[in-house]
Amino acid sequence: MIESVEQIAASPKIDLKSKVAIAFLLLFIGGALSAPWLPLPFSPNETDLEHISQPPWQWEQYRSGEPFHWLGTDQIGRDLLANIIFGARTALFISFPAMALAAVLGIYLGSLAGYFGDKGYKKSIGAVLAAIIAILFFLFYFFLADTSFLTQNDFGKQVIFKLLVLVLSVLLFKLLRWVFNQGSSLRKTISLPLDILILKVIELFQSVPRLLLVLSLATFVRPSLAVVIGLSAFTYWPGIARLVRSEMLKIKELPYLEAARALGFSDKQIIVKHALPNALTPVIIAFAFGISNLMALESTLSFLGIGIPPDVPSWGRAILGFKKDLSAWWLGLFPGLVLCGAVLSVQAVAQLLIRLINPK
């Protein structure tokens, strides 16, 4: 599907715009990943109270060997350059895992819905019952059961207990399924309407404005990066699921899948090895657009001060300084430019991908 790197670089289809975008993106990722090891004179949360609201490029203050605020500082003396570079780190560390989570969830549910449809997913009543019981068992012992008299609040022991619960639930499911399938009336198969169920959930998620959903969920949890990642993944998976589902519906009808079925591959093998690789193209593109979307969402959230803790350096937080003091143009311009550049270059690369995969 995608040729080797040299081929892509040599291909004439890459115009200047894409090259700039790729260069910016590499710079962005490189800066984000190596931020803690870069020779920055200031850390992003360090307040230099002697230089408050300092505009950029104050050369008269520059002395070699001494720390210098290249891009100026905000109202409490935080270095803007350090904040931009660490902000890139935050943007990357939020958008990438969130999108990856959303993609995994979306691909899983979308391919289930698309491949099996409403009638394809057949299980015996006994297996369904066993699954329900095992899930209830798991939920109770994982979340509700009070085990502190066994574990003495020791973290390692708690983890072992939870793992044990997981293993036991799986074993319980297998055992119950075997027991139930002994009875003939429980061996009858019913089809689970996976497509309708998953579509309804997708509809539910997409009918609410995303920002509203994230905000109202953020009402109840303490701000933290993990929460923001979780919430974003939670709100982005429906789009990917919908894409994968529609691709699956198309692929399902193709002759090669019928051949695979005729050869006796299991459903799992067919989905993972035969169908999904052909459904991935739109997912990759949606992934890229999702990342650019999420970077904007992340900075919007930190700009609003919701969900992201105030001590996390972020572009949105830097721009918030601009809102507080409208004469500090550098606080708006530089983070704004970097943010737009990141969003634009991710989108440009996504479009390049479309052209490379679909040369028309």
Partner 1 sequence: MPTVWLISSVVFLVSRLIPGTYADNFAEMREGSIGNAGKTMTRAAYLKELAATGQDKPLFYFSIRTHAQPDTLQRVFPVKHQQFLQALISNYGNWPAISAYYKSLLILQQKTADITPDASHYALIQAETALLFQTTEPNKIKSIFRRLIENTGISSGNWQQALMAARQNLNQLTKEAQPYQNLLPAFNQNGLDNQYHIWLKSFLKLDLGYSLRDAQPVTSVLKNTIQNTLLLLISSLILIFALAIELSLFLSLSNRRSWRKVVSPALYVLESIPLFVIALFVLVFLAGTGYLNLFPVSGLGTVSYESEGWFFAFSNRLYHLLLPLFCLVIASLPYVTTQFYLSLQQVLASEFITTARSKGLSEKKVLRRHAFRNILLPVITLFTGYLPSLISGAIVIEVIFAIPGTGRLLADSVLASDYPVVMGLILFVAALKAGSHLLADFLYFTADPRTRQKIT
- When asked if residue 211 is in the footprint of partner 1 (CB under 8 A), the reply is yes
CA separation, residue 72 to residues 80, 84, 313 (Å): 6, 11, 16
Contact 328, 71 (CB under 8 A): no
- When asked if residue 358 is in the footprint of partner 1 (CB under 8 A), the reply is no
Contact 348, 16 (CB under 8 A): no
Cβ-based burial of 87 (10 A; exposed 0-12, middle 13-18, buried ≥19): buried
Q: How far is the CB of 326 from partner 1 (least distance, A)?
A: 5
Q: How far is the CB of 114 from partner 1 (least distance, A)?
A: 22
- When asked if residue 234 is in the footprint of partner 1 (CB under 8 A), the reply is no
Q: How far apart are CA 296 and CA 91, in angstroms?
A: 9
Query: Considering only residues 21, 32, 248, 339, which one is a binding residue for partner 1 as defined by CB under 8 A?
Result: 339
Q: How far is the CB of 32 from partner 1 (least distance, A)?
A: 18
Q: Which residue, 307, 290, 267, is CA-closest to 350?
A: 290
Q: How far is the CB of 344 from partner 1 (least distance, A)?
A: 5
E strand residue ranges, 42-195: 122-124, 189-191
Contact 122, 252 (CB under 8 A): no
- When asked if residue 319 is in the footprint of partner 1 (CB under 8 A), the reply is yes
Amino acid at the residue 117: G
Q: How far is the CB of 223 from partner 1 (least distance, A)?
A: 10
Site string for partner 1, 46-65 (x = CB under 8 A): --------------------
Nearer to partner 1, 134 or 251 (CB): 134
Q: Which of residues 257-316 bind partner 1 (CB under 8 A)?
A: 292, 296, 299-300, 303-306, 316
Query: Considering only residues 118, 274, 329, 354, which one is a binding residue for partner 1 as defined by CB under 8 A?
Result: 329
Nearer to partner 1, 132 or 272 (CB): 132
Q: How far is the CB of 332 from partner 1 (least distance, A)?
A: 5
**Residues contacting 308, CB < 8 A, separation 6+:** 90, 223, 225, 228, 298, 301, 302, 314, 316, 317
Q: How far is the CB of 337 from partner 1 (least distance, A)?
A: 9
Q: Residue 236 corresponds to which tokens in the numbers above?
A: 């982005």
Q: Residue 46 corresponds to which tokens in the numbers above?
A: 């360090």
Residue ranges in contact with partner 1 by CB under 8 A: 140-141, 144-150, 203-204, 207-212, 215-216, 218-221, 292, 296, 299-300, 303-306, 316, 319, 322-323, 326-327, 329, 332, 336, 339-340, 343-344, 347
